[in-house]
Amino acid sequence: MPLKDVTVEIRSQRDIITARQEAREMARRLGFKLADQTRLATAVSELTRNALQYGRGGVCSIEEASNATDIRICVVVRDQGPGIADIQKAMTYGYSTGKSLGAGLPAARNLMHEFSITSEPGNTEVRACMGRRR
């Protein structure tokens, strides 16, 4: 039976923790091993922190996206901030428009099986999915 999707409004540091916990719990219930639960939770932390810091808050949706052959979990983080002017640069380790190490987006991409970003001013969406065979 499919799990209920979860949506967390990202308005504070506490919301980042909530999104991370919700993602980890859904992954646990879907049977992902502890290492994958941790990878997912880390990616969610990075993506929601970016939405809060650069997008002035947003929404994190955690969705079961399983099919006949794979058990999948997808996280979609949206914000209405200024957008990412150069996605290719933003995906490069060390690049940052803020005062950070510039590792968040590339690290999140490397932790997940699928990763995509669409962005324009007022609408950025990051989709990251993890899967395993049934």
DSSP, collapsed to helix, strand or coil, labels residue 46 as: helix
| Dist. CA 127–CA 26, nearest whole Å | 16
- pTM of the predicted model as reported, rounded to 2 decimal places: 0.89
Q: What is the pLDDT of residue 103?
A: 60
Most confident of the ranges 21-25, 80-84, 93-97: 21-25
Residues 86-132 pLDDT 10s:
888 877 756 666 566 556 788 899 999 999 999 999 999 999 999 99
Q: What is the pLDDT of residue 106?
A: 85
| Dist. CA 81–CA 54, nearest whole Å | 7
Catalogue all structural domains in the chain, each as residue range(s) with its CATH number.
6-133 (3.30.565.10)
Q: Return the sign of the alpha-carbon dihedral for residues 25, 66, 76, 86.
A: positive
Residues 36-79 pLDDT 10s:
999 999 999 999 999 999 999 999 999 999 999 999 999 999 99
